Amino acid sequence: MTPAELAERWLATVQAQLAAARGVDGEGLGAANLARAEVQDEVLAALRSGPGEARRALAQVAPRIRELDQRIHACGRAVLAGLDRLVPAATPSTYTRHARLRDAR
């Protein structure tokens, strides 16, 4: 695989992560995370052993990947904020030893 092809594959996996995060697709995000980990291993190997061509090709997509990572994190924060509104933070009601509800409202 050429450095340019590797850079495009890396970018495509990050775009797949963003698509899964936007769709709140847990399974898709898990698969995209695994795919990205595999590609990033290849990227690291190419950077360690590759000539300057690999560095240049990967450096060209790195700013776009950073931007996409920020968007992925923003999606995660939005989902968590939504869950905070849906799921109350209060402790659940429990029973006392006299079979009465504690903290009944």
Does the residue 27 lie in any domain? yes
Does the residue 21 lie in any domain? yes
What pLDDT score was predicted for residue 85?
A: 82
In angstroms, the first-to-last Cα distance of the chain is 64
Does the residue 99 lie in any domain? no
What pLDDT score was predicted for residue 8?
A: 94
- pTM of the complete model: 0.76
What pLDDT score was predicted for residue 90?
A: 67
Does the residue 73 lie in any domain? yes
- pLDDT tens for 45-93 read 888 887 788 888 888 999 999 999 999 999 999 988 888 888 876 666 7
- pLDDT tens for 12-35 read 999 999 999 999 999 999 999 999
Does the residue 15 lie in any domain? yes
Does the residue 95 lie in any domain? no
Domain that holds residue 66: 3-87
Mean pLDDT of 5-17: 94
Work out how many domains the chain is built from and give that number. Answer: 1
Does the residue 45 lie in any domain? yes
Angle between helices 3-22 and 26-49 (to 10 degrees): 160
Residue 105 has pLDDT above 60, yes or no: no
DSSP string, 39-101: HHHHHHHHHHH--HHHHHHHHHHHHHHHHHHHHHHHHHHHHHHHHHHHS--SPPPEE-TTS-E
Separation of alpha carbons 94 and 52, rounded Å: 64
Question: 95: pLDDT confidence band, cut at 50, 70 and 90?
Answer: confident
